[in-house]
Amino acid sequence: MYIGGTMKIEDIPAGESWACRFKVTTFVDKDSGLAVQDKNVQPGQAHKGVPGDYESIGLIEVRDIENRLVQLLDTVTDITFKVNFDDCWDVDKVEWINEPTELA
């Protein structure tokens, strides 16, 4: 049973879109605090971020009930994170709204 924000990740029905707030330790931009991803960093090369805690809202893409992990797509940075269920809260159903398109 779902009562506005009290859904447990393990109880989410398959085939529905859900999101949650989450917290991870990752590389963040020292000025903005946003998570950053630096691909193809070579040994000895500096990463553009600094280690830190990051909180955001993520769309739930994959759930691993057995290991209590969820794969989330961060709605702010478009970075994918794997997060423990215990570091997720405010689980809520996503209501997709299509913006109107202009007719040519």
Q: Could you tell me the residue ranges of all domains in the chain?
A: 9-13+23-38+45-93
pLDDT for 86 equals 96
Please give the pLDDT value at position 104. Answer: 54
Per-residue pLDDT reduced to its tens digit, 79-100: 999 999 999 999 999 988 875 5
Q: Where are the alpha helices (DSSP H) in the chain?
A: none
pTM equals 0.82
Residues of the chain with pLDDT under 70: 1-5, 99-104
Provide the pLDDT for residue 100: 58
List all residues 6 or more positions away from 96 whose beta carbon is below 8 Å from its beta carbon. Answer: 17
The CA distance from 20 to 72, in Å, is: 9
In the block, which residue shows the tokens 């809260």? Answer: 89
pLDDT of residue 46: 86
Q: Measure Cα distances from 97 to 71, 94, 100, 103 in Å.
A: 23, 9, 9, 18
Q: What pLDDT, on a 0 to 100 scale, did the predictor assign at position 98? A: 74
